[in-house]
Amino acid sequence: MPLVAMLDGERVDATKHTRESWLALQSSEERRQLVMPLCGVRAVAKARGETKFFAHLSTAGCGVEHGGETPQHLAMKEALALGIDRVPGWHAIIEHPYPSREWIVDVLAESDDGARKVAFEVQLSSQTPDRYASRSQRYFDGGIFPVWLVPRELEYSPIAVPAVVTGFGKSSDIPEDVEQLLRIDVDLNFIQQAKNLDAFIGQLLHRGPHWPKGSPTQQAEARKAEEERRIAQLKAEEAKRAAFELAVQQTNERSAPASVAFGPHRVPADSDIFIWATLNACWKCEEPMLVWAARSPGQGKRWTRVPEVQARDEVGLKRFENRPEIHRVVDRWIKEIKADVPKAVIRLRRTKASGKEYSAFCCPACDAVVGQVFLHRLRPEKWSLISGPEIAAAAARSSKSQPRQRKSAQPRVPPPATLRTVPALDQSPRMVALQHTWAELHSEEGVADARRKFRGTRS
Ligand SMILES: [Zn+2]
Ligand SMILES: [Zn+2]
């Protein structure tokens, strides 16, 4: 139901007519010159009750979006125009042809100096989110802020458009005086303080729109940029993870259990501490070094079986492996076996990840850090035991220290089947024959064999 037609290039606004002047127009000779705006199809002045409007004489030949055609649509447009005209410094243009002449704005609010424009679009029928976005974008592109007046909340879309929910729809009762529509409560997705339509129009035109989300295109671009940033971040994390896993793999490839070079020699322990060693070729300078890991059973406890080697993934400023009694055992093992591999040195270093200081194993030749996270991921077969208590003796000591068990009438529980004893220094000719120095392993004839053993490959 258009409210405006053109007569000799002038706008004829139905809302500005009285019943009498409308009747006069309907019977005048001029009525044959009335045309619809933009499409130029001949217009007919009509009335239904108190509602005055124009209609196409024939819709054939019209390719223009004239807007909604229901009486409710028309009433809302009239009410908006009334509300806009009340705001000082502003005026309303009902059914304003958009400058590109492709469609008609339901109600355009224009500041009297022409500098600012707000397009009010009354959308009573449903419309897809894409259509809301593309129609809004046309306004943003033209420097006009669009506002959608809709009966109910818009369906969710990642692209938001400025909307006012009025509850006034295609089948709502039209008040006798359309001005009453300005008093209906509104629900907004912007300008939070306005309670009714009138207050909303006033605030919007006075203070200007506060719409930080930007135009649909800007929102789509921001979403795309955010998505790209997220993908780049995921890729970077994935690359970091892959690099870490590669470093773990390389540390494993560069490590061998001490027994590969020097045979399964163990130093008997006079405490309850197990110590393992691995031979590691420095990732930076390739020089070999001996790295060790030690475990105690914990305060007041004793081992009842040989524990699994466990290089912790995090260590603090002090580390168990740096205690003098542990160093003494490692030194004694090196001396007994005549190992020609130097001990790694323990120094304070910062972790790359958290920047925390910790006692790190470092290469004695070039000072490069053997990252604790990589030692933590060294496979158990890359370590060999170099010292530990005699478990059978430890178990016996343990039972002696628990007299309650002795008093019990129950028979003594036999040690678990998994309980193994750690051999003390094995000097049998077979074991002695297994011992090689690092240099021997790396002699011209032994190097291929050593590499095979050291890298843990069979090729
Ligand atoms: Zn038309
Ligand atoms: Zn090095």
A 10 A CB-CB count for 6 gives: 18
Quick one: pLDDT at residue 370? 94
- Which ligand has the nearest atom to the CA of 42? 1
* pTM strictly above 0.75: no
Between the CA of 367 and the centroid of ligand 2 the distance, in Å, is: 6
User: Is the distance from CB of 197 to CB of 164 less than 8 angstroms?
Assistant: yes
All residues at 6 or more sequence positions from 412 whose CB lies less than 8 Å from its CB, including other chains: 399, 405
Q: In residues, how long is the chain?
A: 459
Between the CA of 26 and the centroid of ligand 1 the distance, in Å, is: 19
Quick one: pLDDT at residue 338? 82
Rounded (5°) CA angle 326-329-331: 105
Q: Which residue has the tokens 């074991």?
A: 431
Both tokens assigned to 106 = 């339901």
- Dihedral angle at the C-alpha atoms of 56, 60, 61, 67, nearest 10 degrees? 50
Bridge partners of residue 6, in order along the sequence: 11, 35
Between the CA of 291 and the centroid of ligand 2 the distance, in Å, is: 13
- Which ligand has the nearest atom to the CA of 368? 2
**pLDDT per position as a tens digit, 354-372:** 889 999 999 999 999 999 9
Query: Residue 432: which H helix or E strand, with range?
Result: helix 429-434
Residue type present at position 106: D
Cα gap 289→368, rounded to integer Å: 11
**pLDDT per position as a tens digit, 302-360:** 888 889 999 998 899 999 999 999 999 999 999 988 888 899 999 999 988 788 999 99
Quick one: pLDDT at residue 173? 92
Query: Residue 33: which H helix or E strand, with range?
Result: none
User: Is the distance from CB of 97 to CB of 123 less than 8 angstroms?
Assistant: no
DSSP 79-134: HHHHHHHHSTTEEEEEEEEPTTSSBEEEEEEEETTS--EEEEEE--S---HHHHHH
All residues at 6 or more sequence positions from 325 whose CB lies less than 8 Å from its CB, including other chains: 271, 273
Rounded (5°) CA angle 287-290-291: 120
Residues with CB under 5 A from ligand 1 (ion): 36, 39, 41, 62, 64
- Which ligand has the nearest atom to the CA of 64? 1
Between the CA of 56 and the centroid of ligand 1 the distance, in Å, is: 7
Quick one: pLDDT at residue 355? 87
A 10 A CB-CB count for 29 gives: 6
Going along the chain from its start, the domains and CATH numbers come out as 1-64 (no CATH), 68-214 (3.90.1570), 254-455 (no CATH)
Between the CA of 309 and the centroid of ligand 1 the distance, in Å, is: 86
Between the CA of 41 and the centroid of ligand 1 the distance, in Å, is: 6
| Per-residue pLDDT of the chain in tens (459 residues, 90 and over written 9) | 689 999 998 999 998 899 999 999 999 999 999 999 888 899 999 998 878 899 999 888 887 777 666 889 989 999 999 999 999 999 999 989 887 777 889 999 999 999 999 999 999 999 999 999 999 999 999 999 999 999 999 999 999 999 999 999 999 998 988 899 999 999 887 766 788 999 999 999 998 888 999 999 999 999 999 999 999 999 999 999 999 999 999 999 888 889 888 888 889 888 899 999 999 989 998 888 999 999 999 888 888 888 999 999 889 999 999 999 999 999 999 998 888 889 999 999 998 878 899 999 999 999 999 999 999 999 999 999 999 988 755 455 555 555 444 444 444 444 433 333 444 445 566 555 555 555 555 444 554 555 455 444 433
Between the CA of 59 and the centroid of ligand 1 the distance, in Å, is: 7
Q: Which residue has the tokens 């001996």?
A: 290
- Which ligand has the nearest atom to the CA of 364? 2
- Which ligand has the nearest atom to the CA of 55? 1
Cα gap 53→77, rounded to integer Å: 12
Q: E strands of 133-265, at which residues?
A: 145-150, 163-165, 187-188, 255-257
Between the CA of 441 and the centroid of ligand 2 the distance, in Å, is: 19
Cα gap 200→362, rounded to integer Å: 70
Residue 367, by phi and psi: left (phi above 0), alpha (psi -120 to 50) or beta? Answer: left
Between the CA of 365 and the centroid of ligand 2 the distance, in Å, is: 5
Both tokens assigned to 261 = 């070079």
Query: Residue 359: which H helix or E strand, with range?
Result: strand 357-362
Between the CA of 64 and the centroid of ligand 1 the distance, in Å, is: 5
Q: Which residue has the tokens 């879309």?
A: 157
A 10 A CB-CB count for 334 gives: 20
DSSP 274-306: EEEEEEEE-TTT--EEEEEEEE---TT---SSP
